């Protein structure tokens, strides 16, 4: 594991290329390519789909950055300090991305439910790539453990190297689970596509995966409650699981009540 | 709109190189670094819209396709450059530009200043790490003592599952590359 892929040099300027950044870029490309291919196979307008993905990605990035600036502004009391320090907050992504996707689908006459369902195998695949970036970068690490799959980070720039103990490779656990989810959704019959059922099933399964993986995490910066028994992400995982199950029940009832109209 | 997509793609490339070269200049480096992928995404949106319209109207799709390819090709390195100064990589850049920061107790253990937080920007020196440094400073239950990190790039450390005696050596020099 190495948080640094390489150091680019142009003249006297040096720029470190980090593993996390590279893997996150790979993840975005993987999600976009798989979704576009699925949309083309399903007979959707490829150009409009690409435009919708681009708009959603841009709005998600902007939302993440704006939320980061807002949080830092509140924390430091200085808007300039918040803007000068680059950073992103993950929860800003859905706040910006979901309305943008809705707007794009309305404007470009794309069926949003169908597009989202088609993108379901791509999202866990890309997420798995992102988690590999965490593994390489040494963040999101596990509890100290001396088992057969334990990893010890020694790179001075890896947060998991402090202290350099054998640990659960939690990013690998999550990455493996996400790849299994991606395979299952890619191979599963496309029955129900367009009604949001695949999205709901993915949300429920990912929520469950996250709750389980969090029990092996060892980094405390993610926020702990009840004396360290529950993490922020576990609470969110339970909420996502509940939302996914509720969505499955709702879409099932709609299906039983009558022929569903694609969203 | 297809030609516009090509122009935006070229601008994204220029922003990317500008962001790379001005990475040490406050505000300008950030603006160019993060502006490059946003421009590329805007170009992808424009190219996608142009492709959709061209297919619907039966017009040539050359310019929109060229714009799309140009922007997708620009997006990948632009993302890498932008994310280099992003959340995780801000601490990496800060660690290399100011290796003395790494000589204190890790913030994860002592609750000190986070390397991901403000003040650790690659554009300027961050706060001094609290507490003494050197071997034996870590918590009692932390196993091996924590010496200061070695100079960057670190010496070869063998495989990742090596025993803890591969931990950084106290006597390692800490000169900036």
Look up the ipTM and state it: 0.71
Q: How much of chain B is helix, strand and coil, in % rounded to 5? A: 55, 0, 45
Residues 6+ apart with CB under 8 A from A198: A117, A120, A185, A188, A192
Check CB contact under 8 Å for B161 and A166: yes
> Which residues lie closer than 8 Å to A243 by C-beta, 6 or more apart?
A200, A203, A207
Q: What is the pLDDT of residue A189?
A: 72
Cα(A169)–Cα(A167) distance, rounded to whole angstroms? 6
Which residues in chain A show pLDDT less than 70? 13, 84-88, 90, 190-194, 220-223, 258-263
Nearest to A58 among B41, B51, B143 (CB): B41
The pTM of the full predicted model, rounded to 2 decimals, is 0.69
Strands, E assignment, chain B: none
Cβ count near B10 (within 10 Å): 15
Instruction: Look at B51 and A46 and tell me if their CB atoms are within 8 Å.
Output: yes
Q: Do A25 and B48 touch (CB under 8 A)?
A: no
CA distance to partner chain A, nearest, from residue B173 (Å): 13
User: Are residues B42 and A54, on separate chains, in Cβ contact within 8 Å?
Assistant: yes
Residue range B89-128, pLDDT digits in tens: 444 444 444 444 444 444 333 444 444 444 443 333 434 3
Q: Which of B37, B121, B146 sits opposite A84 (nearest CB)?
A: B121
Q: Using one digit for the tens of pLDDT, what is the confidence trace for A179-199? A: 999 999 988 876 666 677 888
Question: What are the residues whose beta carbons fall under 8 Å from the beta carbon of B138, sequence distance 6 or more?
Answer: A163, B105, B109, B144, B145, B146
Tell me if B55 and A55 make a contact (CB, 8 A cut-off): no
**pLDDT over 70, % of chain B:** 44
- Nearest chain B Cα distance for residue A100, angstroms: 12
Cβ atoms of A195 and A251 closer than 8 Å: yes
For B103, phi then psi, to 5°, come to: -85, -5
pLDDT of B107 reads: 39
Residue A221's CB: how many other CB atoms inside 10 A?
Answer: 13
Distances (CA, A) of B168 to A157, A218, B165: 12, 22, 8
């Amino acid at each position: 594991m190495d948080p640094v892929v390489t150091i680019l040099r142009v003249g006297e300027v040096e720029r470190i290329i980090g593993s996390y950044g590279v893997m996150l870029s790979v993840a975005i490309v993987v999600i976009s390519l798989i979704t576009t291919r699925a949309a083309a196979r399903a007979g959707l307008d490829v150009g409009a789909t690409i435009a919708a993905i681009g708009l959603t990605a841009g709005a998600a990035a902007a939302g993440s950055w704006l939320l980061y600036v807002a949080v830092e502004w509140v924390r430091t009391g200085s808007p300039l300090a918040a803007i000068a320090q680059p950073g992103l907050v993950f929860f800003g992504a859905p706040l910006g991305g979901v309305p943008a996707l809705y707007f794009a689908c309305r404007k470009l006459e794309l069926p949003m439910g169908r597009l989202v369902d088609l993108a379901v195998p791509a999202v866990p695949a890309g997420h798995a790539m992102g988690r590999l970036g965490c593994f390489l970068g040494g963040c999101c690490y596990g509890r100290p453990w001396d088992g057969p799959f334990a990893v010890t980070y020694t790179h001075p720039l890896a947060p998991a190297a402090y202290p350099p103990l054998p640990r659960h490779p939690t990013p690998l656990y999550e990455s493996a689970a996400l790849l299994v989810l991606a395979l299952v959704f890619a191979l599963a019959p496309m029955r129900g596509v367009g009604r949001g059922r695949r999205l709901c099933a993915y949300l429920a399964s990912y929520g469950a995966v996250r709750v389980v993986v969090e029990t092996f995490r060892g980094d405390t910066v993610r926020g702990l409650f009840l004396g360290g028994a529950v993490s922020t992400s576990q609470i969110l995982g339970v909420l996502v699981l509940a939302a996914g199950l509720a969505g499955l029940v709702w879409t099932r009832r709609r299906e039983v009540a009558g022929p569903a109209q694609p969203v | 709109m297809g030609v516009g997509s090509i122009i935006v793609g070229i601008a994204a490339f220029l922003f990317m190189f500008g962001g790379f070269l001005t990475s040490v200049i406050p505000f300008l480096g950030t603006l160019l670094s993060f502006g490059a992928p946003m421009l590329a995404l805007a170009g992808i949106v424009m190219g996608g819209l142009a492709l959709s319209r061209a297919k619907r109207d039966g017009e040539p799709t050359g310019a929109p396709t060229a714009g799309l390819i140009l922007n997708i090709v620009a997006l990948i390195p632009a993302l890498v450059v932008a994310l280099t100064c992003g959340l995780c990589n801000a601490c990496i850049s800060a660690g290399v530009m100011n290796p003395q920061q790494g000589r204190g107790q890790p913030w994860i253990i002592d609750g000190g200043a986070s390397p991901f937080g403000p003040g650790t920007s690659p554009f300027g020196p961050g706060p001094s790490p609290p507490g003494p440094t050197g071997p034996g400073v870590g918590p009692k239950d932390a196993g091996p003592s924590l010496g200061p990190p070695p100079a960057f790039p670190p010496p070869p450390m063998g495989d990742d599952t090596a025993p803890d005696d591969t931990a950084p050596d106290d006597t390692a020099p800490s000169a900036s590359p």
